[in-house]
Chain A
Amino acid sequence: MKPAIFEQRSKQIVQKREGDEFSIACNRDSLAGAVSQRACVFCGSRVVLYPIADALHLVHGPIGCAAYTWDIRGALSSGPELHRLSFSTDLREKDVIFGGEKKLEAALLELIAQHKPNAAFVYSTCIVGIIGDDVGAICKKVSAATGIPVIPVQSEGFKGNKRAGYEAACRAMMQLVGTGDTSGISPLSINILGDFNLAGEIWIIKEYYERMGIEVVATITGDGRVGDLARCHGAALNVVQCSGATMDLAKMMQEKFGVPVIRASYFGIEDMSKALYDVARHFQDKDPGIMARTAALVKEELSVLLPRLAELRKDLEGKKAAVYVGGAFKAFSLVKCFRHLGMKVVVVGSQTGTEEDYKELAAITDEGTIIVDDSNPLELARFVKDLDVDIFVGGVKERPIAYKLGVGFCDHNHERKEALEGFVGMINFAEEVHRTVMSPVWRFTPRRRGSLQPVTALDAAACASTVSPEPAKEAAS
């Protein structure tokens, strides 16, 4: 089956066949007129930087770009919550004609005076790229006047896709890295990169590492702080979570400060355990006991997790899943997670995967699985229906498609309110999958019309007979 609805996209959809040379076209510009699920450069930058809770995030542009990104993700902070406010220069017609530099400067000065952030990020949106404001110069000027770092983020929406936005965000953060004091940092120390602390997930992961005896210097960017970023080059290791969003930062830090990098994923049993073991292995020369401590931790967590999973699996065995997420790395983990539930991933795709990513996906999926790059609602709906899936895993934009067609859904995107990372996250995930797949509501949807059983007809006599007549008398006799 190859349901390429737009011919121009046919090379972006591939079905896995054992023995075939795998190739897929990806990283293309979205096709005009196809309703892409993709966002823009600005979106990528905003996602990465926004959890830095003590920074001012000023969106330089017209109001929409700021309004639609106001507190849309649940990146939690244990302290300040400046990131949850939405700041915009709210450009108007005269600014577009005469330039927005003056307004930007005034906005920065007043907001910094008002909120006293530890740094400010200034995001350029599309029209800023067109009207040609010298954002860098304004930032420099304001930085000098206020004494805090004011950092331009070159995130003009049209200059690429979300991935370009990640890069821009990393370049922006790199301006802070290396400016702080690193004294007192433990030799057994890491930075957690690429986690945004949705539903408090970074706290779960951080706690695991701390139980292993490791100091976490900076959480980047979930529950992030400007001061932590400034000194995070003092950590002994960068552990980068799958999504790739902060990989560029890790690479830059490796180049400039020699901090080694390992990758990790915190979704699912294998990947979560592997992440902890990989870090432990990295430090075992410095701390011989760390492997044993890690093993004990994993064992303890699994002793809670596995029995619960086995219970849920009983109901879920054999059900089918479709996965469409932002980054391909999350897709890897999800394929493995579903295996633990006895479920089959029949279609899997991402918005921004690379050829390498897709090759790896092809390697870990089952024969016949459809692999797709930068999909759209029409295609996704076709997959859901033709492959008769029981659950769709995706973002908030995919949810209504799944529901409309009568398919279960799990929100595995940035809007989620349940922690899905860590061992406890695996339980939450399994429970969420169970809740949606096992709900009786699907039976009433048109897709499953055939399986709808009418209620048993009312039979007054049958019900009455279950009540014993005049029990009082019986007791008396």
Chain B
Amino acid sequence: MSAPTPLKRRKGGMTPIEPFVSTTNACKMCKPLGACLAFLGIEGCVPFLHGSQGCATYMRRYVISHFREPVDIASSSLGEKQAIHGGGPNLKLGLLNVMKKYGATCIGVATTCLTETIGDDVSMLLHEFRKEFGDLPLPALVHVSTPSYGGTQAEGYQAALRAVVDQLAGSEAATSQVNVLPNFVSCEDLRHLADVFDHFGLDAALLPDYSERLDGGAQEDYVKIMPGGTPVARIRTMGGARATIELGRTLDPAKSAGGLLAERFGVPLHSLGLPIGLRETDAFFDTLCTLAGRPTPRRYELARGRLVDAYVDGHKYLSGKTAVVYGEEDLVVGLCAFLAEIGITPVIAASGGESGRLSCAVKAVTDGLLRQEPEVREGVDFYEIAARARELKPDLVIGNSKGYRVLAKELGIPMLRVGFPIHDRFGAQRVQHLCYAGTQALYDSIVNTVIDKKQTDSDVGYGYI
């Protein structure tokens, strides 16, 4: 592991004081949570945490509060005995139970801090399991090592995707499929991406795709595993795809699924930023045009036109405003790209993640548009973000719910909720962020947030603003 960036407390401007050892109000979650989310995007897949019960229950609760859908995360439920003697027997018993009772066609095993520390060799245990129970119809078994002391949920998400591709994809015959690795985006974003590829006539294999499992319809019966998700068969053929599009500017191909597909199977990799804002979306659509060999469908040309028109119509409400932006690194980069376009300076761009790539990525997407460079903070907690925000007095808070009380409420500034988790608003699964449509939705929300503040703060009772 690379040495963690020392956390600097700053007081009175930019003078760094004593590095802080503890974390107060974390702006991150733990690695296995990300892995579970990725596994939930595979058809028939049950995420399985190898560790003690508490972690699984906490993560379920966390995910459920965002998506408002049933989320099952199994656990090997290690107790004291197993923690000392090894969790192998519990892991196997747990896998059998999940197979039998859930009818899982895929099980994604993620380790936790406990099992990493006691040194369980999950790869070997799964090998034994396959041998011992080879007579049964076994599900696809995937495992990923996710000690949370080695990264955040974002790394866990990417590690799980890489593990899935590593362990399932084969060098099948060439297909017309385009692998799409969309990053951790909302269910609505996933649906929109699927539409976009459809309209381009491209055969997209979206991985993961939890859009149906985590935002599905009402059911008559309890469905053990909600329908939807990337079929395992589609993952198996990823090695023969004509291209991979991987979204996220801070991803390292050496650790990403797209990188592995390129390395092992020679699938050409198109690394792009999350398509948020005009330019990142243009870049995304350009890539699609090239792949599809056709121009952007008219409906998206129109959407783009409306977006530029809206940028103009609303510019005066926003020009010169400042914002604090935080969350997963790739999302922060996307938001900065967008904010820079509409005249809002992201004075603080922060993340609990520590990829080491955030600064460079933010600079790349904001260069030439901002008069003041954003202060980029990696590996920070909300305590630090708030301390800095108190000094910089931004006009807007943009990020997940966790910043509400300690930032927005504390500083008395309006907040726009994006990303994950959104625990204090309705419809988190359907928040749009991506492409022209998502950017339009974000843009309208931001303008309205600013107007709402102006209207509420004024005694006049403006009916036109």
With A and B bound together, what is the CA distance between A239 and B67 in angstroms?
A: 39
Q: Known contacts A38-B57, A85-B24: does B69 contact A32 (CB below 8 Å)?
A: no
Among candidates A33, A88, A130, residue contacting B96 with C-beta atoms closer than 8 Å: A33
Quick one: which of B53, B72, B82 contacts A39, CB cutoff 8 A? B53
CB contact under 8 A between A107 and B405, given known A68-B59, A405-B219:
no
Interface locus among A55-63, A166-174, A457-465: A55-63
Cβ-defined contact, B74 with A33, below 8 A: yes
- Residues in B11-45 with C-beta less than 8 Å from chain A: 18, 20-26, 28-33
From B114, which residue of chain A is reached at the shortest CB distance? A126
- The docked-state distance in angstroms from the alpha carbon of A87 to that of B91 is 31
* A interface residues, tally (CB under 8 Å): 79
Q: Is B388 an interface residue (CB 8 A)?
A: no
Whether A401 is near chain B, meaning CB under 8 Å from some CB there, is yes
Establish whether residues A404 and B222, one from each chain, have CB atoms under 8 Å apart when the complex forms.
Answer: yes
A38 / chain B contacts, CB cutoff of 8 Å: 53, 57
* Residue contact A32 to B91, C-beta cutoff 8 Å: yes
**B412 interface contact, C-beta 8 A:** no
Query: CA A37 – CA B112 in complex, angstroms?
Result: 18
Chain A residue, CB-CB nearest to B218: A445
- B interface size (C-beta, 8 A): 77
Contact across chains for B22 and A86 when beta carbons are under 8 A apart: no
Contacts of A406 in B (CB 8 A): 218
CB of B56 closer than 8 Å to a CB of A:
yes
For residue A30, which residues in chain B have a CB less than 8 angstroms away from its CB? 53, 75, 77
Interface centre among A91, A127, A130, by most chain B C-beta atoms within 10 angstroms, is A127
* Contact flags B333-364 to A (C-beta < 8 A → 1, else 0): 00000000000000000000000000000000
Contact flag A95-B149 (CB < 8 Å), given A35-B73, A62-B113, A400-B64: yes
Q: Which A residues touch B248, using CB under 8 A?
A: none
B26 and A67 form a contact (CB under 8 A): yes
- Per the bound structure, the CA–CA distance linking A75 and B260 in Å amounts to 47
Which residues 43-68 of A have a CB within 8 angstroms of B? 43, 58, 61-68
* Interface pair A87/B73, CB less than 8 Å apart: no
The answer to whether the Cβ of B147 comes within 8 Å of any Cβ in the partner chain is yes
Question: Could you tell me if A130 and B117 are in contact, using CB atoms closer than 8 angstroms?
Answer: yes
- In the complex formed, the residue of A with least CB distance to B87 is A32
Whether B26 contacts A86 by the Cβ 8 Å rule is yes
| Shortest beta-carbon distance from B195 to chain A in Å | 25
Q: How far is the CB of A142 from chain B (nearest CB, A)?
A: 13
Q: Is A63 in contact with B148, judged by CB distance below 8 angstroms?
A: yes
Residues of B within 8 A of A157 (CB): 52-55, 114
Whether a CB of chain A sits under 8 angstroms from the CB of B175 is no
Known contacts A66-B26, A94-B1, A400-B68: A33-B98 contact under CB 8 Å = yes
Which of A31, A63, A96, A126 is within 8 Å of B29, CB to CB? A63
Interface string of A295-316 (1 = CB under 8 A from B): 0000000000000000000000
- Using known A-B contacts A63-B23, A96-B149, A110-B21, determine if residue A377 contacts B94 with beta carbons closer than 8 Å: no
| Known pairs A130-B117, A158-B114; A70 contacts B64 (CB<8 A) | no
Nearest-CB distance from B109 to chain A (Å)? 11
By a beta-carbon cutoff of 8 Å, the part of chain A in contact with chain B is 5-6, 29-43, 58, 61-72, 84-96, 103, 106-107, 110-111, 125-127, 129-131, 157-161, 377-378, 381-382, 384-385, 396-397, 399-401, 403-406, 444-447, 449
Query: Can you spell out 14 A-B residue pairs with CB atoms less than 8 angstroms apart?
Result: A6-B101, A35-B72, A62-B149, A63-B28, A63-B29, A70-B25, A85-B383, A86-B25, A91-B149, A126-B117, A157-B114, A403-B68, A405-B219, A446-B220
Further pairs besides A103-B22, A110-B18: 13, Cβ < 8 Å = A6-B101, A32-B97, A35-B72, A35-B74, A36-B57, A63-B30, A65-B54, A71-B405, A85-B24, A90-B22, A130-B117, A161-B53, A377-B70
